[in-house]
């Protein structure tokens, strides 16, 4: 006959099970336990890998290069302030390079967030940004006025005297047909 209250019996069985657990815990090999603890600590302390750091550096330089090219384009087309206002405030898809700069910023943010901050080990972020960037740039080249051939009057203004069929531009200091004379003299020497 057991006259212990029910709560007391539960307490005794609970303490017996905890003693059994402690006995099982003491059977763990301490070297294995230390190896596991060190592996978890090593993950937290480990910095960014060299390959990941190089990739993030490449993405950063890509953004800086596109920015530099855009600034040069702004400067060449009539001063930075005027051209900046034309390209940003009065944005035109067909003639502005501002969207290409924003595309580079988008690519930079996504890739740095994915591979430096979140430390992803999958290629989907690169595939996504490259697909978006390539599609946008291809559409811009096809639809824009950036590749329209200059009209004939502008081409004639660039090349003095114009060109006829079969005639090539010759610099002013050389005479027409001088190549043939040089070839004859070289053949006669041999």
Residues 64-105 have pLDDT tens digits of 999 999 999 889 888 888 888 888 998 888 888 899 999 999
Q: What is the dihedral of CA 146, 149, 153, 155, to 10 degrees?
A: 100
Share of the chain above pLDDT 70, in %: 53
Q: Cβ neighbours of residue 114 under 8 Å, at least 6 residues apart?
A: 120, 125
CA-nearest of 132, 136, 137, 110 to 55 is 110
Residue range 142-165: average pLDDT? 59
pLDDT, position 66: 95
pLDDT, position 69: 93
Characterise 78 by phi-psi region: left (phi > 0), alpha (psi -120 to 50), beta (else).
left
Query: Does the pLDDT of residue 169 top 80, yes or no?
Result: no
**Residue spans of alpha helices (H) in the chain:** 6-26, 30-45, 50-76, 80-84, 98-112, 124-143, 152-158, 178-189
CA distance linking residue 180 with residue 92, whole number of Å: 51
Query: Does the pLDDT of residue 27 top 80, yes or no?
Result: no
CB count within 10 Å of CB 104 equals 20
Residue range 127-150: average pLDDT? 82
pLDDT, position 141: 86
The pTM of this model reads 0.53
CA distance linking residue 179 with residue 172, whole number of Å: 14
Task: Find out whether 99 and 140 touch, Cβ atoms under 8 Å.
Answer: yes
Q: What is the dihedral of CA 49, 50, 54, 60, to 10 degrees?
A: 40
Structure tokens belonging to residue 43 = 């993950």
Query: Does the pLDDT of residue 44 top 70, yes or no?
Result: no
More confident residue, 120 or 1: 120
Residue range 119-128: average pLDDT? 89
Model confidence at 60, pLDDT cuts 50, 70, 90, reads very high
């Amino acid at each position: 006959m057991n006259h212990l209250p029910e709560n007391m019996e539960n307490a005794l069985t609970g303490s017996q099970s905890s003693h059994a657990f402690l006995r099982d815990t003491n059977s763990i090999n301490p070297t294995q336990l230390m190896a596991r603890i060190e592996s978890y600590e090593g993950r937290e302390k480990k910095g960014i890998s060299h390959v990941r750091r190089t990739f993030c550096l490449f993405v950063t330089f890509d953004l800086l290069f596109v920015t530099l090219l855009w600034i040069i384009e702004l400067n060449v087309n009539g001063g930075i302030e005027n051209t900046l206002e034309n390209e940003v405030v009065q944005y035109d898809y067909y003639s502005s390079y501002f969207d290409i700069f924003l595309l580079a910023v988008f690519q930079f943010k996504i890739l740095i967030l994915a591979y430096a901050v979140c430390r992803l080990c999958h290629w989907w972020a690169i595939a996504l940004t490259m697909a978006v960037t390539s599609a946008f740039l291809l559409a811009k080249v096809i639809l824009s006025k950036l590749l329209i051939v200059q009209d004939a009057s502008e081409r004639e203004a660039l090349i003095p005297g114009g060109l006829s069929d079969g005639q090539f531009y010759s610099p002013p200091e050389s005479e027409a047909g001088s190549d043939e004379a040089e070839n004859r003299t070289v053949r006669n020497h041999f």
